[in-house]
Structures are given as C-alpha cells and as structure tokens.
Structure 1
Amino acid sequence: MEHLPIFLDIKSKPCLVVGGGPIALRKLDNLRRAGAQVIVVAPTLSEEFRARIEQAEIRFHARTFTDSDIDGMRLVIAATDDRDVNRRIAELANARNIPVNVADQPEDCTFIMPSVIDRSPVVVAVSTGSASPVLARMIRARLESLVPAGYGRLAELCADYRDKVKARFEQQRDRRRFWDRVLQGGVAERIFSGHLEEAKVAMERELESGTRPSTGEVYLVGAGPGDPDLLTFRALRLMQQADVVVYDRLVAKPIIDMVRRDAEHIYVGKQRNQHTMRQEEINRLLARLAKEGHRVLRLKGGDPFIFGRGGEEIDTLAAEGVPFQVVPGITAANGCACYGGIPLTHRDYAQSVTFVTGHLKDHSIDLNWPQLAQPNQTVVFYMGLVGLPQIIDKLIEHGVAPEMPVALVQQGTTHMQKVYVGTLATILAEVEHDPPQPPTLVIVGEVVRLREKLAWFNTEPDPEQGATTPILPGD
C-alpha cells in the first residue's frame, strides 16, 4: 500500500487551515469533529465559511499567509487557490516535520484526508491514495448503508464490559467466541434498534451463560412488495446473519437469494384453501427453532404487521419467552400504488386511506361497508381478487357511484407488474379476457384518475436490463 493508515489524536491541538473556500471548509469541518483547535488564515472567506466561524470557536486571521503562521502547529492544511503558496506551506511544514495536506496537490502532501464514516468511537476511513477522491466518496456512501449508526453505541457497550468479560473468561479463545456471539446476536441488534437497557440485560444473560449458546432470536422482517431495492438496510443485515429462514409465498425469489447462502430454508407459503403449514404450526416452529439456539429469519411479504399475521406470531413467541424483533417493510399498498403511478392520498381527491383485507379468516367478506363507502377516501383491498365481484356489488349497494375509478395492480413493483384501470361498473369486463394473476391489489378511489397524468413520471423494473422503463398510461 502507498500510505500507512493511521488515526491522529488532535484534540485541543493547534491546527492551521490556510484558505477560505469550500475545500478549506470541508477540511475544517473534519478537524473540528476531531476536536482540534483550528486557526484559519485567509484574506477572504466564502459566506458559508464566515457563518461557520461565527458559530464556532475558531481563530481567524483576515490576511495572506506568512511563514510564521506555521509555528507551533501540530497539523497543517493548505487549501488556497494559489499552487505556489500551497507548495511554500508544504515546504515549511516538511522542514518542521509537521504533517501537511495540500488540496489537489498530492505530490506535496505528507498525509491524505480520507472519506470518513463516523460512528464514534468507531471510525472507518476510505482512501484511493488521491487517485480519485470522488471514487472514495462513492465507496464511503456504499459502506454507510452497511455500518449502522448504532455501531458507536455498540463499541461503547463493549468498552463498559471489557473488564467483566476478561474476568469471566480466562482463555483468549473463550473471550473471542463470546464476543463473536455478542457482536452478531441479540445484544448488537438491541443496540441497533435503540434499546440500550434491553441490550445490557441481554449482555448480562450472555455473561451468565458463558460459552454455552443462549436462546436464539426470531427476526420478523418485512420483505416489501417484491422489488429487492425496497428492502431496508436493517432487513439486509439480518438476512445475512440468520441461521434459518422461514419464508412465505409472497417473498420474491430475488429477495430469497439475498439471504445468507448457508442458511437453512423452510417454505411455509399459504394460498387460498391451500396451506403448506397452518399458522399455528408456523408459530410453534419459530419458537422451537429459536429455543434450539438458532437465529431465525421470518421473512414475510410486505410488512409483518399489515395483514402479515406478524401479531399472531409474536403472541406465541412472547408466551414462550423467545426474544424477537420486528423490522417493518414497505407494504403492498404503498409499493404497488407508487409503482403504478397512483398516489393514495391527494388534497383534491382523498383525505384518508383505508387498508382492508379482501377476505377474513373464514373466507367471508363481512366488512364495514358503510364506512368503506364514505366519500373523499381511498380504499385498498388486500387479497381482494377472488371476491372482487362481491366487493363491487357491496360498494355500489352502499352508495358508491358506479363511475368510481378502480385500479388492479398485479404483482406490483416486479417485472410482472401490470395495471388494470376502470370503474366499478366496467372493471370486471376490462379483465375478463386477460385475468390478473395473484397477488393483485385493488385500489378504489378518485386518486386513480391521476394515474394517466402521473404514470408518465414513474418507472417499473425492466426484467432484461435490470434498470427501469417508463410506465405509459394504459400499460
């Protein structure tokens, strides 16, 4: 490697920044975050730079650089628009063995300012050795998604327990195994989700269990409506550390492929009148796997708490004393409506939105029809395809105009997406010769009229290109 990566302690140390433009300002911000005592020398400052100095305790000298400015400094940044001045600053710093960074002049630098991911006390630095600062920033942006903000809090917890762990385990091998389990298990996840006190309780439990694996945990993760790009960062992280994945029919294959490769896969998909495993059996399966010490990923299409039976599953887990956490996902109503070019609310058309299941546990459609027939709202029916004729009849019976717009979104957000548009009076005829395939979402409301206008600006997945193509009205 061309440079030695190091971290300098410059807290309360005098550091010089020469220059008053945007590059100098970026360097100053990094020094300030590291706690440096910053001195700025520049004849003029940009407006943003001046505002920053007025807000912080920064010494500013409104003049050009002089050789004596470098005296007593622990670190120097040269960021003027004059290459000769920058080189002169570098020469002076080198003569005094002071680390110096020169903007856009790597040959004059003795150190490089990397792109930084700050999760203090955890800090990750990315550098391309001045070959391409833009590439370094792009790599940092990708790493940002992989390093949760809670890593700093996790490091602090580790520091608090370091002595206790050392006293509990005499052998370094046992300490390493303990930390591996803690940093990839329930303690870390409680930190990431903001439950610090629960994390401390879990940490004490891990210490008590010693090298024996404690009870596992269940992750109820919303996989979204189908497009893998709609997964949350937290969902991706848990998918990569699960020992077992229990998934249903609505989870798209590209999402299943993103689960840790050596994880055991258990399919528990359910279709109308055709259940691979009854819900009660799924509940007991999750509890049993966790009690065996496994990290169990319960992967559910959409959001676990919106017609996903997540509530039923955590009822059993809570009763069995099994730790669990719930990761929300983009529910089908949001994903399908967005990709279909239909806003669920709009000040001129709908001031509320109602999500309702198209069939109940006994396969009936006994709903609060007077409420669903109220004006100025959008009603979204999940699992409403089979009962669509009855839904239409009941809405019209309770006062909804036959001209009310309706949209059916088939397999929304995936390359199989198809949108059918009509009214309560015409939609059945529209789909008679080309029936939509489940899962299909039903959207009823005046907002459907906006699709023709807004769909021009929307996109849908292209199965061959892996990119996006415009959705045209009527597609």
Structure 2
Amino acid sequence: MARLNTFPVSVAVKGRRIVIVGGDDEALAKARLAAKTSAEIVVFAEAFEADFSGLDVTLVSRAVEAGDFVNAALAFVADHGPAGARALKLARGAGVPVNEVDVPENCDFFTPAIVDRAPLSIAISSEGDAPVLARLVRAKIEAMFSPRLGEIARLAGAMREKVSALLSDGVARRRYYEALVTAPGIETALAAGQGEAKADALLAQHAGRISDEGVVWLIGAGPGAEDLLTLRAQRLLQEADVIVHDQLVPAAVVEMGRRDADRISVGKAKGHHSFSQAQINTLIVRLASEGKKVARLKSGDPMVFGRAGEEIAALRKAGLAYSIVPGVTSALAAAADTATPVTLRKVSSGFVFATAHGADNTDLAHWASLAQSGLTLGLYMGKSIARQIAGDLIGQGVSRAVPVGIVVNAGRSEKALYAGTIGGLAAGEIDFADGPAIIFIGETVAEGDWAQAETIAVEKFKVA
C-alpha cells in the first residue's frame, strides 16, 4: 500500500504572521487563501502587479528581511528570481516552514484544496502531484456538505463546558456529540436561533441515561472493494467502539472505522481458525454487555454463509440489541464482474447459492436436479474440489456441455476468471489464482462476458 510522504496537520496561526513574498497573481492566490485565517498577512514585493484590494493584508514595498519572519507561522514564496531564493534562505534560517509556489522540491509543506466551514475545515492534498485533482475532489465535497456545517461545529464547541460537567465518561460525551451533530432538525433550529436550546434538551436526555446499552451490528463488508461498502456500513463503522472483523475483510475497510476504536481480528481461514465460532459468540456478547457498540464486520453479506445465525442466536439469548447491515455477497459481485445474468427470461428462472465444501451425495443429486431444471448454481468454497464436484454432477446426469464460469477474488482488482464447460472442468487440471472462488454452473453463464477468462480446457498436458 502506498504511503503518504506528508503528515496532514492543521497549523495554529492565531496571533501569528503569514509571510508572502511576491507581487504577482501567484502571490495573490496565496494571499486570498491565507486571508481566510485570523493570522496577520504580510506581503513583501518590490512592485505589486496583482490587485490585492479587498483583502485584509498588509503590503510592504520592499524585499523581505530576516526580522520579518519573527513570529511567522508559515511563509509562501511566489518570486522565483534571486529575491525568492533569498527569501527561502531567510525563512529556513528563522525556522519557518516555507512553500515555494509550484516548486514541490523546495516546499516544507503543501497547500491543500480547502473546504471552509469555519471552524471546521477539510483539506485535500496531493503532495503537489495533482493540484487539479485535489480541486475537483474539493468541489465534490463542497456539494455534499451544508453551508451550516460550521455553525453546527461552533455549537458543539459552545457546549463543551456543559457536557464535561454533566457527562464524566468519555464514551458518553462522544455519543452525545454524535447525536448532536446528526440530530434531525439541527440546521432548522440554528436558523431559528434555537440551536443551543435543542443542544441543551439533547444533553438533558443523555445525562438522564443510567447507562448506554450495548449493540452489535452485523455488517457485510462486501467482497473486498472499499467502494462496494454501503453508506450505512460506513456510518456505523464510524460509530463503533469495537470492530470485530474476519480475516477476509481487507485492512482498508477496517480502517474506515474510528481511529480510537478497538480492532479485534477473529480471522478464520481454510484450515486455520484463530477463534472458534463459540469464542466469537462469547466475545461479541461480552463486549455488548459492557455497553459497547460493536461492529461485527463480515466478508460479503453476513446472512450468506457468514454464520450470522449462530451469532444472532447468542445475542438473543443474552437479551442484547442487534441489527443487520447487508453487504454485496461474492456470488453477486462475481456476476457483476462478468456481466452474467444469473436469472434470464426463457433461460433461467432462479439462482441457487450453495457451499461446495462438505457436500454429500444428497446435495449433489439436488444440485444436479436444479441444474437440469434450468436454474443457475453459484457454488462457494469449492475451488479445491472443483474438478471432483464437476465429475460428480456429471455422474448425476448433468450434461458435460453445460457452461461453467469461475471467478476468483470477485469484486476486487486482482480477480481472475476461468470459463468453459462442466466436462472441461471435470477433465482438466486448473492452476487457480489464490483467493476465494465462486463457481457458476448453468446456461446463463454463456450469456456473460468471459472474454478475459482463461479457458477451462478438456485436457491440459504438462511437459516434464
């Protein structure tokens, strides 16, 4: 995973100075940005070509001197001549972080694209590599958030002393602020001058609670791509005190949770279980019983081969609250990856999920009957026994010509595709890519887009 070359921070500039060197449009752009802060903005140049009128800045018509950097928090150099080189040297000599405009190699910091909802700010930085992209991202974020977001932030700040006095527990305070900033009608109340009254009423409710009850959210993380996570899942991950996650859930999805949330891996991989299911049940019951909000993060959809039923039974027995957040299950991600219509008019009227691992003769006979009736089969956990399953289904009467498609790592950038017939699968050796696989069997497979798939040949000969 790529690492940042800069550490994102917000610099305190209240009561300090921001120095800008240069008098052209580049200097003007930085002055406009700096003027959004409460710092003293001083611009130095021998001559001013740009129009700085209307900005709360001080213009000084001379070269910058060493003493001008006293009490400076930041410096921008927009002069790329000898005067700019001298300014860089003076700023660094004074220990002031400096940014030479459009010269990344001479920058101690980079200027992000900023979404301004003072006192709330959102900065988008590309470390100088793609400022245009940063501005486009900023435009999208601007469209997402209300202009009153800053007022909500100021209201939360104004409540700090009251909240500290009434709610001694850090978790209780955090939950109050979460409720405040997401409260229905909070913007309307602020517009009517009733924001503080609404905040006080909400605080009284939270102070009256004897204790917060715990809850477990069984959340589907999808097949692995972060952008396939639902909005509800993202929101609850930000609210969770503890994230209990499976081994197949990517780190990038787990990282969507709060930074201060506890993270517990209960990884279960084929042939290796760090936690038994009984231990996982006990763990989530204990955490919720302690009043914690628990995100039980499962790969795919929690209700599809996720053993959620056992966890729900344990939570019900303990009298604990829970809810289910659906996710994109791997078979549907695989269908999307290959544009395979698992149900298709006059071809297949249904789609069956099943797990191939541990299948017995009864299961195979049932699957064969379903396949012969025209339904599409989606088999999970069958990669290591795919050839055997295919042979057994043929033995149960399934035609060798029935199309087969296999997707390994569905929904991810590293997915691998294999396509052919069930006869080819039964007869050929396949070197599958690493990762979980979905095996589709049925006539609808032929309607999908398998152009990038490796062919499942009837025979594969190996030369010694």
Range into which the TM-score falls when normalised by the shorter chain: 0.5 to 0.7
Query: Aligned in 2, Cα 1:395/1:182: closer, same or farther, shift over 3 Å?
Result: farther
Q: What SS class does the counterpart of residue 427 from structure 1 fall into?
A: helix
Q: What SS class does the counterpart of residue 425 from structure 1 fall into?
A: helix
Match of 1:74 in 2: none
Q: What SS class does the counterpart of residue 280 from structure 2 fall into?
A: helix
Residue pairs, 1:221-236, within 5 angstroms = 221-236=219-234
Query: Aligned in 2, Cα 1:390/1:204: closer, same or farther, shift over 3 Å?
Result: farther
Match of 2:330 in 1: 332
Match of 1:285 in 2: 283
**CA–CA distance in structure 1, aligned partners of residues 278 and 288 of structure 2:** 16
Match of 1:244 in 2: 242
Of the candidates 429, 432, 437, which is equivalent to residue 435 of structure 1?
432
Of the candidates 308, 328, 345, which is equivalent to residue 306 of structure 2?
308
Match of 1:444 in 2: 441
User: 1:341 Cα shift?
Assistant: 3.1
Are 2:284 and 2:294, in contact at CA under 8 Å, matched by a contact in 1? yes
User: 1:179 Cα shift?
Assistant: 6.5
**CA–CA distance in structure 2, aligned partners of residues 144 and 380 of structure 1:** 41
Q: Does 1:355 align with 2:353?
A: yes
Match of 1:173 in 2: 164
**CA–CA distance in structure 1, aligned partners of residues 144 and 301 of structure 2:** 21
**CA–CA distance in structure 2, aligned partners of residues 387 and 184 of structure 1:** 49
User: 1:351 Cα shift?
Assistant: 1.7
Are 1:225 and 1:336, in contact at CA under 8 Å, matched by a contact in 2? no
Amino acid corresponding to residue 209 of structure 1 in structure 2: R
Are 1:369 and 1:398, in contact at CA under 8 Å, matched by a contact in 2? no
User: 1:242 Cα shift?
Assistant: 1.9
Amino acid corresponding to residue 332 of structure 1 in structure 2: S
Q: Does 1:397 align with 2:395?
A: yes
Amino acid corresponding to residue 173 of structure 1 in structure 2: S
Query: Aligned in 2, Cα 1:248/1:366: closer, same or farther, shift over 3 Å?
Result: farther
Match of 1:209 in 2: 209
**CA–CA distance in structure 1, aligned partners of residues 388 and 427 of structure 2:** 15
Residue pairs, 1:389-428, within 5 angstroms = 389-428=387-426
User: 1:296 Cα shift?
Assistant: 1.4
Amino acid corresponding to residue 447 of structure 1 in structure 2: T
Q: TM-score scaled to structure 2, two decimals?
A: 0.55
Of the candidates 295, 298, 303, which is equivalent to residue 297 of structure 1?
295
Amino acid corresponding to residue 322 of structure 2 in structure 1: F
**CA–CA distance in structure 1, aligned partners of residues 143 and 372 of structure 2:** 45
**CA–CA distance in structure 2, aligned partners of residues 182 and 264 of structure 1:** 20
Residue pairs, 1:462-473, within 5 angstroms = 471=452
**CA–CA distance in structure 1, aligned partners of residues 415 and 403 of structure 2:** 19
Q: What SS class does the counterpart of residue 239 from structure 1 fall into?
A: helix
Q: What SS class does the counterpart of residue 444 from structure 2 fall into?
A: helix
Please give the per-residue CA displacement for 1:231-288, whole angstroms capped at 9, x wherever unaligned: 1111111222322211112212332233323322211122334211111110110010
**CA–CA distance in structure 2, aligned partners of residues 352 and 207 of structure 1:** 53
Match of 1:386 in 2: 384
Are 1:225 and 1:332, in contact at CA under 8 Å, matched by a contact in 2? yes
**CA–CA distance in structure 2, aligned partners of residues 365 and 288 of structure 1:** 40
Percentage of identical aligned residues:
34
Amino acid corresponding to residue 342 of structure 2 in structure 1: L
Query: Aligned in 2, Cα 1:429/1:371: closer, same or farther, shift over 3 Å?
Result: closer
Residue pairs, 1:135-146, within 5 angstroms = 142=141
RMSD of Structure 2 on Structure 1 (CA): 4.5
Q: TM-score scaled to structure 1, two decimals?
A: 0.54
Match of 1:259 in 2: 257
Q: What SS class does the counterpart of residue 338 from structure 1 fall into?
A: helix
**CA–CA distance in structure 1, aligned partners of residues 183 and 419 of structure 2:** 43
In structure 1, the gaps of 5 or more residues are 5-123, 127-134, 156-165, 192-202, 457-470
In structure 2, the gaps of 5 or more residues are 1-31, 37-119, 123-133, 153-158, 186-202, 457-464
Amino acid corresponding to residue 449 of structure 1 in structure 2: A
**CA–CA distance in structure 1, aligned partners of residues 299 and 259 of structure 2:** 20
Aligned residue-pair number: 310
User: 1:324 Cα shift?
Assistant: 1.6
Query: Aligned in 2, Cα 1:346/1:335: closer, same or farther, shift over 3 Å?
Result: same
